[in-house]
Structure 1
Amino acid sequence: MKVDGRVERGEQTRRQILLRAAEIASVEGLEGLSIGRLATELEVSKSGVFAHFGSKEELQLATIRAAAKIFATRVVEPASTAPPGLARLELLLAGWLEYSERRTFPGGCFFYAVQAEFDARHGRVRDTVAEYGRRWNDLVRTTIEDVPDLAVDPAQLAFELIAFLEMANVQSVLHDDPDAYTRARTAVRSALERATRRP
């Protein structure tokens, strides 16, 4: 079936808007987004941007969903190619560190940035950010649960591992620490060795 050229161009414009919106939000937060700014930067009309989203809140929600899709492509999907167990967990954690270190988003981890922005607020945007945070926490925990012969509580280990990842992100982004990701990889490796009783 042939796709209408106008529809395809519209979808391409929407993708471009959301990618730029996610890049901005990773640095300035979701409140830093505006239809006027995106229109100017992408050289499209304000009415054209507005037609895609209708309001700032809808733009913010769409930006979160777009960032989640990128995160899944860069971090979750590659790890899922490994069989359940330690190899998948290691791939998942390594993928997150690479996603942050290589600046998939210029501000580091998109979700770390927007969680800090919305953690004490109320509303649809905050609830959506929180939901994606829960999904990530649950994914790490359930991936840990598939590792045989664990010597620790999976929920506790998930908490600690995610803390290592997020600390690397903030130390790199905020303090420009060149050793942040190396330290995080060392911490992750040590935690997994203890958890699996590997020599």
Structure 2
Amino acid sequence: MDGEELIKSIESVTVRDMNWYYHAYQGVDSTYRLKRMLLEGIKCRLLLYDKRDLYGPYSYTFAKNGFHYISLSKDIDALPEKSSFLHYLNEINFIIDHIFAFKCSTKKEYERFRFTALPLRSSGYHDEYQVYRHISPKHFVGLQCSLLNWYYNGYTFRFADFKKLLTIMNEEGIDLPIYDYSRVIGDNVHVVDKSAFLEIYPKIQEDIKQKCYSKSLKEHRF
């Protein structure tokens, strides 16, 4: 089986809750920071007291939130060019539920409040929400990925980030479901068998490398 068939073999159709929120984390985050997010929750910039958080790559995750808020997206059928949900669909996202979030406004005058604690939040997206200060792990209901999309695009680095995430979850005894949104249709998505993914991971990476190598040979053929 090639990578596509392998991925499909470890997934099964399930139903998502359309009220879920999503928070994308940057793949450049170190193992240290990712582990803290899983164990301690997602924090606004002011709560990130460690120098590795304030000055490291993790800090830019919150650049557009100001200092007091955490950005979330929600699938509410916004136009593609105005959809935060679609923009970050190929990232790894924390799926969050049962939390109070402020709906962002697209009004320009709200931008002046970006770095304040006032609940007057602005965004260029029509489906962005923001949560004040902290999101506890008790609100995590799963994680979202796009395995098939990563495979089609040859994103070996995404698979490496995903493997790092699953390894940390196993080490810390964190059992959250993983959903692949590559073939999302309405509320239908696919749930990923985490153990099976770790088994097929080397084969997927090798298949992508072989396909990229073959494509490169064809492009450079006289």
Q: TM-score, normalising length from structure 2?
A: 0.22
Between structures 1 and 2, the one with greater strand share: 2
